C-alpha cells in the first residue's frame, strides 16, 4: 500500500475527509513530535500536512489560517520499532509497506527525513485526532493561536498544550 492511499487505513475518517476533496499524500510533512504511548504499544506523530484543507470551516478561513496539523496514531506497534535522530521540525515522508494478513492486518511504516528515521510494524489502522489550524505568520507554531475541529479541543485549548498534557498526547 503506498503513501497515496493512506486514507484506506483511517479509522473514523469522516472528520478528516470532510475537510478535503482529496486527502494529501503523506509526503513533505513537518514532523512536530513523536509520542510513544506509556499505556501500550502505540505511536503518535504530530504532523503538519503539506496543504491546507480546501473544505476548511469558515471560522478557520475567516481567521486567515493557512496551516493544518493533525496527530496520526498507530496502534499495536511491534517490538521492531527503530528511531534514529531527533524529530525537530523535520520534513518527512511516511511510507507504508504492503498490508500483511498473518494473524491480523499488519503494515510496515517508515517515517524518514533529513537526519531522522522511524520504522515499525503496526496494526493496519490509523487514527487521526486533534485536527487544528493556525496562521503561518504567527512567530512560533508552538505558541500560535489554534482553531480546533473538535468542539471539546476548541473549548479546552487556544494554543497547543505542553507535551506533558497527557489527555492531549496520550
CB neighbour class for 57 (10 Å; exposed up to 12, middle 13-18, buried from 19): middle
* Assigned C-alpha cell, 150: 473538535
Q: How do 10-11 and 126-134 pair as beta strands?
A: parallel
Per-residue pLDDT reduced to its tens digit, 118-162: 999 999 999 999 999 999 988 788 888 999 898 888 878 888 777
The pLDDT, as a whole number, for residue 151 is 86
d(CA 61, CA 30): 21
Q: Which three cell numbers mark 47?
A: 504532523
Give the confidence band of 170 by pLDDT, cuts at 50, 70, 90.
low
Question: Which of 20-24, 99-103, 121-125 is predicted with the least confidence, judged by mean pLDDT?
Answer: 99-103
Going from N- to C-terminal start, the domains of the chain cover 3-169
Q: Contact, 45 vs 69, CB < 8 A?
A: no
pLDDT tens digits, one per residue of 36-48 = 988 889 999 999 9
pTM across the whole model: 0.89
| Phi, psi dihedral angles at 152 (to 5 degrees) | -65, -50
Amino acid at each position: 500500500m503506498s503513501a497515496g492511499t493512506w486514507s484506506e487505513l483511517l479509522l473514523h475518517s469522516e472528520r478528516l475527509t470532510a475537510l478535503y476533496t482529496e486527502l494529501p499524500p503523506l509526503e513533505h510533512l513537518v514532523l512536530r513530535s513523536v509520542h510513544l504511548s506509556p499505556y501500550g504499544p502505540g505511536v503518535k506523530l504530530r504532523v503538519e500536512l503539506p496543504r491546507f484543507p480546501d473544505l476548511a470551516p469558515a471560522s478557520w478561513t475567516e481567521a486567515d489560517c493557512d496551516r493544518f496539523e493533525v496527530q496520526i496514531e498507530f496502534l499495536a506497534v511491534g517490538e521492531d520499532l527503530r528511531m534514529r535522530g531527533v524529530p525537530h521540525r523535520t520534513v518527512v515522508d511516511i511510507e507504508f509497506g504492503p498490508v500483511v494478513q498473518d494473524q491480523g492486518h499488519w503494515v510496515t511504516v517508515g517515517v524518514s527525513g533529513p537526519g531522522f528515521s522511524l520504522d515499525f510494524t503496526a496494526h493496519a489502522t490509523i487514527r487521526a485526532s486533534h485536527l487544528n489550524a493556525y496562521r503561518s505568520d504567527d512567530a512560533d507554531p508552538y505558541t500560535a493561536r489554534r482553531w480546533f475541529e473538535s468542539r471539546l479541543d476548541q473549548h479546552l485549548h487556544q494554543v497547543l498544550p505542553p507535551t506533558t498534557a497527557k489527555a492531549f498526547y496520550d
